Structure 1
Amino acid sequence: MTGTSLDKGEWVRGIAHWRDADTAYLSVAFTWRLPEARRVAEYYRAIGVKRVIAGGPGVFTQRKYVAEFAEIGDRIPDAIARHNPFATRASYGCPVGCWFCIVPKMDGKAFTFLPDFPVRPVLCDDNLSALPADYQQHIVNRYVRAGVPLLDANSGFEPATFDEEVFARWRPVLKGPWRFGFDETTEGEAVARAFRILKDISPRKKQVYTMIGHEPFDVCMDRIQRVIGAGGEPYAQPFIKLNALVKEPAVRHDWTPLLLRQVQRWVNRRLWRKVPFADYDASAKTSRLRIAA
């Protein structure tokens, strides 16, 4: 591991794998990485490794596919550090139960606590603000005592449970962006409250996941515009089915694959600062404004 406690480290590209004696382990973050995981498993067997064990979120919905080339393993403690040596977890699970999320299906709606978690700059718990208040404080206290800055609360906070107390609790240690989601229109009121609480935080530190494609275009774009209007920075994530073996968004409602790519580029490259989406020309080297005749 390189760097200092002020580093956020680097994430491997979807598959972490390592060998321990005659056993190889594969930790797969996304289902669309499974064909690559199969090739990695074949490599290990070709060099004489007797057992190949696979796990991770990418395995959960494709167990039959994985069983063709690897054993399905149980959770390995601190496996997340194999994906990024500066990442850690203090809990698993989320009580919200979003239909598009793997967490409640894989980790459950009840929390599993890891009170002795290794303190590192990137915290990847599934839902920090829904954790019991005393356990949130336990996490914060561990960071304070260790003298390690929390540079990224990676999965973020839930707008419905994010309040002034949560903000005050995490503010002393969170040095990175405040992340939360605005994935469905029904979350609008809770998101607006979160923005009011974060009113004194700079826009670059208010980063909001905004899923696209699962609702009609106008509805998704309204959520994106509401984030921008509230002084935050949206991050567009096209809806992909939980069992997808190819990284291709599901096309629903009035969306097309091209429109999904265009909106994602316009949002995530922050082109909304320069040009409205209606005037965005994704085919040009530099987006141009269309002048009405």
Structure 2
Amino acid sequence: MKWTGPESQWTGGLAHWVVGDRAFISCAFTFKLPEARKWAIYYRSIGKTVAIGGPAMAHVKTQKYMEDVAIVPRGAGNPGRHDGALQRHNPAATIASRGCSEKCSFCIVPFMEGAFSELPNFPVLPVLCDNNLSGLPDDYQDHIIGRYKAEGVPLLDANSGFEPRTFSAKVFERWRVINKGVWRLAYDDLVERDFIREAMAILRGAGIAPRKVQIYTLLGNEPYEACMQRVREVIEWGGEPFCQPLMKLVSLTRDPHVKHDWTAKKLRAVARWANNRMWRSVAPRFEDYDPSVRRAPRARYDATQGLFI
């Protein structure tokens, strides 16, 4: 299957457009809200009525930040509330379900969407953004896969991926039929150690290359040594860590939330070392890495993945 539709290209977390006398703004990340606010002020200055939504608007504090310059509709934090809003962020992106069965304290989804709700008539597009594909009921997973097969659309990116607690050999065999991209899971704390090790063993045992086993590895929610243990284990078990420093859910800047024995500088340095794969050759151990040596951009945005790397 070859995709001939729109190219996968993320806007970077902020989309805005005009329909008649109304301007719409969809903001994914709270640190993009200052930019969104400037756009709202501009649209108002040219006589448009402005409405804002998106995941960044899920919290009452961020709603109050915008309510003097834009209308904040009820349910504004729901990215699918406005038809086509997700495709404004990426024309190749879709979502077949909202919500998640997990209730991670550092994640916006529980506040924004709550438990699972299914969207069976979703547009079939190659970037699937569901929060937790493996946590969905088996029959609904089969429904999603069946629609991709029936419409001949390849799944090029299961963007938010699978939950290690519910990932199994059965789930892998089900999704490998259509998944042509990276297998994404998350290793958020050491409580998940056995689950992620088993999930990675399934993938590597099936011959999935390390570059296609990408493990979101949260930094800063546990002490330094615990976080680095998770990073090292992802590498040892045959995958690639993608490190994301912990942030406050309502932060208006892209600055880490510093806890435990971390510093903001160390959080950024570990993420740079890991996400630029410097552990492959430049510095196999983070302790051998010199952050002062400029080898790569400090924060490059990959628009195809929608990730800061």
Q: TM-score, normalised by structure 1?
A: 0.94
Displacement of 1:175 after TM fit?
Answer: 0.2
Contact 2:3 2:154 in 1 (8 A): no
- The number of residues matched between the two structures is 283
Q: C-alpha distance in 2, partners of 1:31/1:285?
A: 28
Give CA-to-partner distance per residue, 1:12-53, whole Å, 9 cap, x none. Answer: 12111111111111100011111111110111111111x111
Q: Name the aligned partner's letter for residue 54 of structure 1.
A: I
Question: Which runs of structure 2 are paired with 1:250-269 in the superposition (5 Å)?
Answer: 250-269=257-276
Displacement of 1:286 after TM fit?
Answer: 5.5
Which of 260-269 and 64-73 deviates more?
64-73
221, 233, 239: which one pairs with 1:214? 221
Distance 1:202 1:26, change over 3 A: same
Relative contact order, CA 8 A, sep 6+: which one is greater?
2
2:39 aligned partner: 40
Question: Which runs of structure 2 are paired with 1:68-107 in the superposition (5 Å)?
Answer: 68-73=68-73, 74=75, 75-107=81-113
Structure 2 residue runs of 5 or longer lacking an equivalent are 76-80, 297-309
What SS class does the counterpart of residue 37 from structure 1 fall into? helix
Distance 1:270 1:88, change over 3 A: same
Q: C-alpha distance in 1, partners of 2:111/2:185?
A: 20
Give CA-to-partner distance per residue, 1:231-258, whole Å, 9 cap, x none. Answer: 0000000000000011100111111111
Indicate the RMSD between aligned Cα atoms, in angstroms.
1.5
Q: C-alpha distance in 2, partners of 1:12/1:92?
A: 21
Q: TM-score, normalised by structure 2?
A: 0.89
212, 222, 235: which one pairs with 1:205? 212
What SS class does the counterpart of residue 43 from structure 1 fall into? helix
Q: Name the aligned partner's letter for residue 148 of structure 1.
A: V
What SS class does the counterpart of residue 133 from structure 2 fall into? coil
111, 130, 133: which one pairs with 1:125? 130
1:170 aligned partner: 175
Identity %: 51
Displacement of 1:191 after TM fit?
Answer: 0.3
Residue 282, structure 1, aligned to residue 291, structure 2: yes
1:65 aligned partner: 65
Displacement of 1:7 after TM fit?
Answer: 6.3
Q: Name the aligned partner's letter for residue 69 of structure 1.
A: V
Contact 2:6 2:91 in 1 (8 A): no
1:53 aligned partner: 51
Larger Rg: 1
Displacement of 1:285 after TM fit?
Answer: 4.1
Give CA-to-partner distance per residue, 1:51-86, whole Å, 9 cap, x none. Answer: 111111111121111212111124212311010000
Question: Which runs of structure 2 are paired with 1:142-181 in the superposition (5 Å)?
Answer: 142-181=147-186
Distance 1:150 1:233, change over 3 A: same
Q: Name the aligned partner's letter for residue 266 of structure 2.
A: L
Contact 1:234 1:267 in 2 (8 A): yes
Structure 1 residue runs of 5 or longer lacking an equivalent are 288-293
